[in-house]
Structure 1
């Protein structure tokens, strides 16, 4: 549903889609139709996981999350203290189909995802799960997020270990039992943590394109939600992929 090129321009068809989904539009006969876009107020305050992984291990860990367009998910985790790196990419499919134009067709089994490398002594896996479910996306939307539709935009957690899988399973059960959402969580827990980095044009996209209509409507409010709900976890300076390469 979304498109990108090396210049980060947004095609007119995408601008039209965002206008339809995120703002007021003048229809035939002068009828006004409006759908409210995601806002920081829509970020959900949810309980922390009852189960978590040890935070004493000083070895960097990785977690892979899929929650719609990877631009916004990456942008959120880049602002989390303790995250050392957040890379946009593809998970769930094979290496030969891990390319944006192929994944966008929706038949590769890949999901747009973000690989988060983190210091467990500064931020736990459970806290990352809490941020993922409360701020980064809506876990009750099946195979879509906002204007983006297809299995490539599914909500999923690609567990990097049996321990991560166990914690994630317990947390989904905990949140469903607490009924913190009006609908049941549809997040898939997938045990094959394959990850293939996306093209460089998709890395750090939120930071480099803060005025892009898609980013303004769908993603910047998520960072505001992080700042509001997790002030002790928020950092104003994001950890960037391209900066680390220089």
Structure 2
């Protein structure tokens, strides 16, 4: 089913959403007992305008490696918030070269100087900072695509416990699109085993106690026994940056992700 990015009228939009939901349900049923590579191949086959969004974080290498085996010129969107760790920027460059990724698109917000001139917005309003530096530029980048691949997994939180391979995302200000979660059923040890077995390079901050890595001002090391995402927005009830939508609303939950 071709994915039309034109601005649809409400009736056409509802029909398109229904069509996407039917596609997602069919693919989930067909691939119920298949692995991540089969999911990626099906996604590439069914969604011609598809991108992979990656933070090049602690676990990103597993999905990026899988994608590189399926389609090396798959567009990979990397959001540079201009507050990332230097290690993340170096890792992004090195990993892209090592995996032979041919179409990595580095995206940045266009109005940071105007809306956060002194770089302190994260101290006053973390949601606003994430929206400015991640959500808005990502949404603009995704306007060219009818679907995107994420690294989300069921084990990461209660809000993701029912995650499936394919789902429909309905942003409030953009056409509906398919979201693909090839690692939805992987456990933490599956990711670790895959990285080890394939001798893939880990993000350098993992060895320093960062099992989940975001922007430098809002990420701290995690102590032994803590939830892996305890270091993200520590001592707040925030656990999502806001790039994921459910029924047109940004995901905001109190569970760890």
TM score, norm. by length of structure 2:
0.32
TM score, norm. by length of structure 1:
0.33
Higher-RCO chain (CA-CA 8 Å, sequence separation at least 6): 1
